[in-house]
Structure 1
Amino acid sequence: MIPTIPQSRLIRATYGAYVALFFIYLALPLAVVAIFAFNDSQFPSLPWEGFTWDWFFGDERPKIGVFHERPILRAIGTSAFVGLCVSLLSVAVGTSNAFLFNRYDFRGKGVFYVLMLLPLVIPGIVLGISILVFSSTVANAAWNVMDWDIMALRPGLLLVILGQFSFITTISTLVIATRLQKFDRSLEEAALNLGAGQLTAVRTVTIPFLMPALIGAFVVAFLMSFENFNTTLMLVGSDAPLTIAMFDRLKEGSTPLLNAVSLLLMVGSSLLALVMIAFQRK
C-alpha cells in the first residue's frame, strides 16, 4: 500500500487485517513453543496440566530441567564454541573480501565474486556432503600413500567450523562491503597527508567507520552458526552441537525440555539482536 494514494476504509481495513494475520502467523508457533515450556506434563501438548519451572530448573527425572541436563549444556557449549570460531573467521575474511572487491580491480573479479556468492544458493546439505566427500577423499589418500591419519579431515568440530564458514563468510562479506561502499576515501587520504601509513590510516579511520558493520556481521554469523542444521548434520562427529543434540532427542520423543531450550534460544537471540541495534544506533 502506497501511503500517498488515497484509499477507501475497506482497503485500509483489509490491509491492516492482512498485516495482523501475517505477524500472527509468524509469532504463533513461537508463542506455542514458549507456553508449553511451562506445562506440568511430560508431553508438549494439550491438555494443560498446570504451570511449572521444572523444565528449566528440575533436578529429578522425568522432569529434569535444562540447567541440570548435562548433554544439553554440553551441546550448548559446543555450539557457542563453533559459533565463536565461525564468527571470528567470517568477520576477518569478510573484511578482507570487502576491501578486495571494493578497492581493487583485477582480471576475473566478476568470476571470483560469483564464486563467493555460490555457497548462498547451494543447499546446505549438498554443501555439507561435498565438504565431507572432499575431506574424506584427501584423508584416505594420505593414509593409503603415506600412512598418515589426518584426524582433522574426519567428521568433527573442525569440519563443522569449516563447513559453516564456507557460506557464512559470504554473508559477512556482503554486510561489511555494504558499509564500506559508503566510506569517503578522502578521509583516508587526509590521514595519509598527515603522515600516517596505509595500515595506520585503515586502522584508525576506516575500521572505526566499519565497526557497526563488523559487530553486525559478527552477531549474524554467530546466530546463523548456532542454528545451522543441514551442513552441520553431514560433518558432525562425537561432539554434537545443540541443533544435532535436539534432533537426536526429538527422534526419541518430544518433551517440554526441548521447548524450554527453544525458549532460551529465542530469548538469547533477541537479546543479541537488541544489543546489535543499540550499538549501531550509538
Structure 2
Amino acid sequence: MRSGTVRPTPPVHFSVWARISLAIPVVVVLGFIYVPILLITLLSFQGPQGGATFPIRDPGTLWYRSLSDLSVITEHPDYLGQAVFDFRASIVNSLKLAVTTAVVSTTIAMAAAQAMRSRFRGARLATYAILLGIVTPGLAVSLGIVTVSSELGITAGLFTTGIVAHIVWTMPFSFLLFMVLFNRFDRRVEEAAYTLGASRLETFFTVTVPIMKPAVIGSFLFAFMLSFDEYAHSIFIMGADRTLPLMLVSAAQLRITPSIFALGVLIITVSLILLLAYVVNVRRTFRRQELRGA
C-alpha cells in the first residue's frame, strides 16, 4: 500500500442479539415519548358517558366541539361545575407571549452569533454564559426573577417577569441554531460584497440575512413552540396573567376531563404543522441554492 493513502473503514457488523440489545433502549425511550400522546389522542374521542380513562364509550367528537366555548373546561352537564377556567384568555396570553419571545430571542441570538464570529477575547466565556439558560432549572430561574423583580418594585406579569424568563429559556436554543449555520457560512460571499463597496451594515442585510433565512425561520418557530407550552419557566412569575400550560395544570389538579385531552391534541397538531412547514421551507431554500450554484 502506498504511503499516505487512507484505507476505508470496514463496515461494522452486529450480531442479532447485539442489535436487539441496542434496539430495546431505543424502543423504551420512544415509547415513553409517543405512547402518552397516542393515549390522550384516543381518549380525546371519548363519548358523553365516558370519562378520562379506558374503555372508550360511544366515541365521537363531543369534546372537540365543546372547545368552541373556551371559557369553561367542558360543556357536558355531567362535568359542569367541576372546574371553570378562562381558557380563551390563557390561549391569547400564550400566543402573545410566544410571538414576542420568538421575535426577541431570534434577534438577540442572531446578533450574539454574529458577534461570536469575530472571536474576541472572552468569546468562549460569553458562549458558556448564554448556554447556561439551558441547564439552569426553570424553577430556579423563576424564583430568581421574581425575587429580583420584587426587590426592584416590578410587578410580575406577562411582559415584565414572564417574557424575561422565557427569553432566558429560548434564546440559547436559537443561539445554537445560528452558530451551527454560521460555522458553515462561506465568508468569501461577504468579502466579495465588501470588495464591491458595500458597507458592513449593507452586507449584513443584503447578503448575510438572506442566506441565514432558514435559521431565522427555524429560530422563530422553535422559540415560539418552546415558549407556548413552557410551564417550569412560567411558575410564580406571571402574576395575575395565566398562560395555557398554567391553566391546564390548574384544571387537571381539580379533575381531568376528555376536553383537556382534546385541547392537548390540537396543540400537538398545530406544532407538527409548524414543524412540517419549516422543513418544507428549508428544503425549498437549499434546493434553490443548489440550482443557483449549478
Work out whether the TM-score is over 0.5: yes
Please give the alpha-carbon distance, in whole angstroms, between the structure 2 residues aligned to 1:275 and 1:174: 21
Which of 216, 219, 241 is the aligned partner of 2:218?
216
Task: Judge conservation of contact 1:90–1:172 (CA < 8 Å) in 2.
Answer: yes
Which of 136, 139, 145 is the aligned partner of 1:122?
136
Whichever residue aligns with residue 124 of structure 1, its letter is G
Note the residue ranges of structure 2 that are not aligned, 5 or more in a row: 1-8, 70-74, 285-294
Please give the alpha-carbon distance, in whole angstroms, between the structure 1 residues aligned to 2:24 and 2:206: 50
Which residue is 1:45 aligned to? 53
Which residue is 1:32 aligned to? 39
Please give the alpha-carbon distance, in whole angstroms, between the structure 2 residues aligned to 1:137 and 1:11: 58
Which residue is 1:62 aligned to? 77
- Counterpart check, 1:78 vs 2:93: yes
CA RMSD of aligned residues (A): 2.3
Q: How does 1:91-240 map to 2 (within 5 A)?
A: 91-106=106-121, 108-139=122-153, 153-158=154-159, 159-240=161-242
Please give the alpha-carbon distance, in whole angstroms, between the structure 2 residues aligned to 1:73 and 1:42: 25
Q: Could you state the TM-score of these two structures normalised by the residue count of structure 2?
A: 0.83
Whichever residue aligns with residue 76 of structure 1, its letter is I
Which residue is 1:144 aligned to? none
Shift of 1:47: 2.7
Seen in structure 2, the aligned counterparts of structure 1 residues 219 and 11 have a Cα distance that, compared at 3 Å, is: same
Shift of 1:12: 4.0
Task: Judge conservation of contact 1:55–1:63 (CA < 8 Å) in 2.
Answer: no
Which string of whole-angstrom CA distances, capped at 9 and with x for unpartnered residues, describes residues 71-95 of structure 1?
A: 2222112111100000000000001
Task: Judge conservation of contact 2:50–2:56 (CA < 8 Å) in 1.
Answer: no
Note the residue ranges of structure 1 that are not aligned, 5 or more in a row: 140-152
Whichever residue aligns with residue 94 of structure 1, its letter is A
Task: Judge conservation of contact 2:51–2:257 (CA < 8 Å) in 1.
Answer: yes
Seen in structure 2, the aligned counterparts of structure 1 residues 70 and 56 have a Cα distance that, compared at 3 Å, is: farther
Task: Judge conservation of contact 2:169–2:233 (CA < 8 Å) in 1.
Answer: no
Whichever residue aligns with residue 54 of structure 2, its letter is L
Whichever residue aligns with residue 35 of structure 1, its letter is L
Whichever residue aligns with residue 29 of structure 1, its letter is P
Whichever residue aligns with residue 249 of structure 1, its letter is A
Shift of 1:237: 1.9
Shift of 1:10: 4.3
**More divergent stretch after superposition (18-27 vs 155-164):** 18-27
Shift of 1:185: 1.1
Please give the alpha-carbon distance, in whole angstroms, between the structure 2 residues aligned to 1:172 and 1:109: 17
Please give the alpha-carbon distance, in whole angstroms, between the structure 1 residues aligned to 2:266 and 2:78: 17
SS in 2 for 1:103: coil
Which of 5, 11, 30 is the aligned partner of 1:4?
11
Please give the alpha-carbon distance, in whole angstroms, between the structure 1 residues aligned to 2:177 and 2:156: 30
Kindly tell me the number of residue pairs found equivalent between the two proteins.
264
Please give the alpha-carbon distance, in whole angstroms, between the structure 2 residues aligned to 1:19 and 1:84: 34
Please give the alpha-carbon distance, in whole angstroms, between the structure 2 residues aligned to 1:138 and 1:13: 58
Task: Judge conservation of contact 1:42–1:62 (CA < 8 Å) in 2.
Answer: no
Whichever residue aligns with residue 186 of structure 1, its letter is R
Whichever residue aligns with residue 46 of structure 2, its letter is N
Q: Which has the higher helix share?
A: 1
Please give the alpha-carbon distance, in whole angstroms, between the structure 2 residues aligned to 1:114 and 1:24: 33
- Counterpart check, 1:245 vs 2:259: no
